[in-house]
Amino acid sequence: MEREAEALGLPCEIIGIGAEKLPETSPEDILVNVGYCGGYGIPVGSVIEPLFAGDAETEEVDDLEHHFPCETRPCFTSDSFVSAPLCHCPAIYDMELFKINKLPHKRLYALKIVSDNMDEADCEAFNDAVAWDRVRELLKGENLI
């Protein structure tokens, strides 16, 4: 979303809610996905690296490479806002990671900021400069910025 791009403060592509504007990619591309997500059993403001990308509808799961020294959790992608957990373990919920992982790429880096605990109004109101500083610090540590 535009507000995420502004908070990141780096050149990036906005793919829209639900990944409605996915870019064309090649097998040699390095993709970086950063943005807000809902969380279950995870404090708001936490920066999380997804362990895997799961499709909430089909239950298909793709394991992801671990890159960052931060907390990791499962990530479930849905076409709509998730307001109830799909599993009883701490997990995050977004609307794009599974789709991004399906694009051709050489490597994928993903960091998510928990904006809410499954409450859409809280998501819309969320803004945490400290979390965005942490994201930039982690990206810099991997020479991505």
Give the bridge partners for 75, in sequence order.
Answer: 53, 92
- CATH hierarchy code of domain 2-8+38-141: 3.40.50.1580
Q: What is the pLDDT of residues 53-84, one digit of tens each?
A: 999 999 999 999 999 999 999 999 999 999 99
pTM (global) more than 0.75? yes
Whole-number pLDDT of residue 80: 92
d(CA 23, CA 54): 20
d(CA 130, CA 14): 21
Residues 52 and 73: beta-carbon distance below 8 Å? no
Residues 76 and 54: beta-carbon distance below 8 Å? yes
Type of residue at 47: V
Whole-number pLDDT of residue 2: 87
Question: Does residue 26 register a pLDDT over 90?
Answer: yes
